Structures are given as structure tokens and as C-alpha cells.
Amino acid sequence: MGLESYQQGIKGEEIAENYLLEQGYQILEKNFHSQQGEIDIIARDKDFLVFVEVKNYSFRSYGSPVGAIRKSKKQSIVHAAETYLYKKKIRNTYCRFDVLTIYRRKDGSRAIELYKNAFTIN
């Protein structure tokens, strides 16, 4: 699994990026890390600063990927988002957390879904 899933991840993020560009997002940053968290993609969608979490899953995985974002994962994203806002000195901006899921079917084709405003900080 190890290498394969890593490659799928890289591939997934490429697909996600293209998809977001298609949707009119402007990509600002990829794989942003803070001490306790990370964000896959940071983008701008009109007035919003959007923190996007990309989730890959395939016919082999179990359950929905949105449900897979648990409290600890959420906290890590929120922490990274706060760090980002602080470092870039961004204030007075509407922010949003989106989740983008990429489902790989048995035949190798993919279905992409974007959940806007998927969660809040509490």
C-alpha cells in the first residue's frame, strides 16, 4: 500500500488543484504546515479565503471521507489556518473551510465533490 497510496495522494492533489482552478479559485498556497497542523490547499474564492482539505478515497475504502474528518484532524486544520492568518497578517477577511473529495472507482475514473463550508471552528 505505502508507495501506492502516497502516489495516489500526490496525484489527488494535482487533480484537486485543477478542479479548484476550474471552479474559479485562485490557489495561494499548497501543503501549508504549522507546528501542529497542515492544510492541503489555501485558495481565494471571491471574497473568501478558503482552506481546502483534500480527501482521497477509493472503492477499497470504507465510509464517507467527509465523515473521516474527525475532531483531531479538524483541530489540526484550524490550527494551521490560524497560523497562516497570523503569519500573513490577514485580518477582517471572511474565511471558509472546504473539503474536496476524490473518489477513485474500480475502473480508474474519478468523481470529485467539493463541500463548501464543510465545518466551523467549534
Q: Which stretch binds another protein (CB under 8 A): 21-29, 37-45, 66-74, 78-86?
A: 78-86
Specify the pairing of strand 37-45 against strand 48-58: antiparallel
Q: Which three cell numbers stand for residue 47?
A: 471574497
Residue 89 contacts another protein per CB under 8 A: no
Residue 55 contacts another protein per CB under 8 A: no
Residue 86 contacts another protein per CB under 8 A: no
* H or E stretch at 7: helix 2-22
- Under DSSP, the state recorded for 105 is -
Footprint (CB under 8 A) of another protein, residues 97-116: 97
Separation between Cα atoms, residue 60 and residue 117, nearest integer Å? 27
# residues near another protein by CB under 8 A: 16
State the residues that interact with another protein by CB under 8 A: 48, 78, 81-82, 85, 91-97, 117, 120-122
